[in-house]
Amino acid sequence: MANVVVVGAQWGDEGKGKIVDWLSIEADVVVRFQGGHNAGHTLVIDGKVFKLSLLPSGIVRPGKLSVIGNGVVVDPHHLVKEIAEIRSKGVSVTRDNLRVAENAPLILSVHRQLDALRENSSEGTKIGTTQRGIGPAYEDKVGRRAIRVMDLADLSVLGDKIARLLGHHNAIRRGLGLEEISSKAIYDELASIADQVLPFMDSTWRLLEDYRRSGKRILFEGAQGALLDIDHGTYPYVTSSNTVAANAATGSGLGPGAIGYVLGIAKAYTTRVGGGPFPTELHDATGQLIGERGHEFGTVTGRARRCGWFDAVLVRQTVRTSGINGIALTKLDILDGFPEIKVCVAYRLDGEILDYLPASQAAQARVEPIYETMAGWNGTTQGARSWADLPAQAIKYVRWIEELIGAPVALLSTSPERGDTILVHNPFQD
């Protein structure tokens, strides 16, 4: 039985929550390995909607262990709030089904403030962050001044750690003409939440290795998408962590040999939230129609998503950078009834034909999509649960995408409901 990594194959918002929930039936453990509460997952189970942003999607399934790994940056106040919200919907959240890595860095108020200051500044590039402190928290992790979950267990040692943290942040605040933050304010912030977070703390790398050795099935849940990866994404319009599949090992504490199958999630079209290049973006009625049909608004921010045709060049690239074995294709039903459907098969840059997205920010802004067009279908794919339920032209579209991206479609999703999924290949059986 393979352990499975689920990653977004576009810019996020591909429908990972539903697919992870669908796969979690066979998983014993579901692990978040990067990001923070900046990426939302929406689950629809028996008509009940769950919106998660920090908790792993497996938390809504009884008998599953959910783990927030060391690669995640954790806002402790948001964690407590999200636990309370999901408990109010009848979901039990205890140490029996949730553990948080002791070495996961914490997001504090100072991080959220700095994130907002940068994003709202009139100087520099607006990245389009959620202003939740993710980037500054990762900066402190790399700068070796982060306060981590384990530090909540002994508040008496926080003095030096807070001093080191504020030595950096107060220098920035002075430069911006802002009031400095006192050590007491940070101490009080941490002390107020410690007792609510510590019951979930664990050496999760040891726990996961024990599960792996005993033959338990582990599902690694990525947040955002591979095109937002800090190294392999559309830099600088990216997130602050590695979103590609390889980080499932680093961000959980398991070795790379623990990864068996990589499942990429991709919409049947393309969306993006925030700034940055988007070669197939549509600024016309078609793009607006896709957004309306697909209810394309961010789970966390509520921002309208930019919409465009499927970009096979980008997904083919993420298939390679994440080592994707198969694709879960979502929201096929949104394309029902379009008279024709376009797919980007290459780019044109200054007269040259490219089969990849160049790394240069300037070049990314200049690439032009080269489209191929196929006729759409008149029937509906919504709610289909077998190939026989699909119009022939819709099947042709799926096969065309497989050929263009160099990866098979392992699952096909035809509505937000968990059951409306066509299984082609079970990743856990690889």
**Active site members:** 13, 41
Q: Report which residue type is found at 337.
A: G
CA distances in angstroms from 64 to 31, 41, 92, 216, 316, listed in the order given:
11, 17, 11, 11, 33
Cα(167)–Cα(47) distance, integer angstroms: 50
- How long a stretch of residues is the chain? 430
Residue with the two structure tokens 């030595």? 167
Rounded to 5°, angle at Cα 294 from 21 and 55? 30
Cα(33)–Cα(243) distance, integer angstroms: 9
Cα(399)–Cα(34) distance, integer angstroms: 32
Neighbours of 148 (CB within 10 A): 18
Residue with the two structure tokens 């929201």? 331
Cβ atoms of 204 and 100 closer than 8 Å: yes
Cα(39)–Cα(298) distance, integer angstroms: 9
Burial class of residue 193, CB neighbours in 10 A (0-12, 13-18, 19+): middle
CA-CA-CA-CA torsion for 167, 169, 172, 176, nearest 10 degrees? -130
Query: Residue 46 — φ and ψ, nearest 5°?
Result: 50, 40
| Residues 6+ positions from 334 with CB-CB distance below 8 Å | 268, 269, 290, 293, 294
Cβ atoms of 208 and 27 closer than 8 Å: no
Alpha helices by DSSP H, listed for 46-178, are: 76-87, 109-119, 134-142, 158-175
Cα(43)–Cα(52) distance, integer angstroms: 8
What would the two tokens of residue 297 be? 């608004």
